[in-house]
């Protein structure tokens, strides 16, 4: 209920900004529309692919390669999966929820999310073309171990506290 009221106030603010030519409010409205349209381009396709992932990939496969007994291979697969993720965090978070429900280890999921933010192939190629290959390799070889280490620590911490993820 409170979200609906806040959204109504937001829309009223944007409408009043247009009526009274309040530049900041108009810019906020344009940014919202730009963000909404970019989401509409990515999210439907992403959810279709995640739905297919849910149906086609068996829980046993995820548990074997990304689960509690996966060791270093789980982190390798998480890095590989994150490198090929298109759509950034819009796609990475729903995929990580799917991985969790199929039995992936928390630390592997955190590695996937972190690496999806910094090590996607299209982003890495773009970065190397503008900032140089040396910079990209240094950033890559510094950030990936830090992501894995922090994921392991966070995974152990949450597992020790009996963490359970819920969409409710």
Residues 44/33, Cβ–Cβ less than 8 Å: no
pLDDT at 90: 79
Residue 50: is its pLDDT beyond 90? no
What is the tens place of the pLDDT at every residue in 8-46?
A: 999 999 999 999 999 999 999 999 999 999 888 888 888
Alpha carbons within 13 A on the beta-carbon side of 19: 6
Which phi and psi (to 5°) does residue 106 adopt? -55, -45
What is the tens place of the pLDDT at every residue in 127-149?
A: 999 999 999 999 989 999 999 99
Which phi and psi (to 5°) does residue 110 adopt? -65, -35
pLDDT at 15: 94
pLDDT at 136: 93
Q: Which has the higher per-residue pLDDT, 52 or 43?
A: 52
Average pLDDT over residues 57-65: 92
Average pLDDT over residues 51-61: 91
Residue 91: is its pLDDT beyond 70? yes
Using the structure block, give the residue that is written with the tokens 């390798």: 76
pLDDT at 167: 59
Residue 22 burial (C-beta neighbours within 10 Å; 0-12, 13-18, 19+) = middle
DSSP assignment, residue 102? T
pLDDT at 168: 53
Residue 87: closest CA among 44, 31, 129: 44
Q: What percent of the chain has pLDDT over 70?
A: 98
pLDDT at 86: 79
Average pLDDT over residues 55-62: 92
């Amino acid at each position: 209920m409170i979200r609906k009221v806040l959204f109504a106030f937001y829309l009223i603010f944007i409408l009043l900004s247009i009526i009274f030519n309040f530049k900041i409010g108009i810019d906020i409205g344009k940014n919202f529309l730009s963000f909404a349209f970019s989401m509409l381009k990515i999210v439907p396709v992403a959810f279709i692919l995640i739905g297919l992932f849910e149906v086609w990939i068996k829980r046993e496969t995820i548990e074997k390669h990304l689960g509690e007994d996966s060791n270093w291979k789980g982190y390798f697969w998480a890095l590989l999966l994150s490198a090929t993720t298109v759509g950034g965090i819009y796609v990475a978070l729903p995929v990580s929820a799917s991985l969790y429900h199929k039995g992936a280890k928390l630390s592997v999921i955190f590695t996937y999310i972190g690496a999806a933010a910094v090590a996607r192939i299209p982003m890495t190629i773009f970065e190397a073309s503008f900032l140089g290959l040396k910079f990209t390799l240094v950033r890559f070889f510094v950030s990936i171990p830090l992501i894995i280490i922090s994921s392991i620590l966070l995974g152990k911490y949450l597992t020790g506290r009996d963490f359970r993820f819920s969409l409710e």
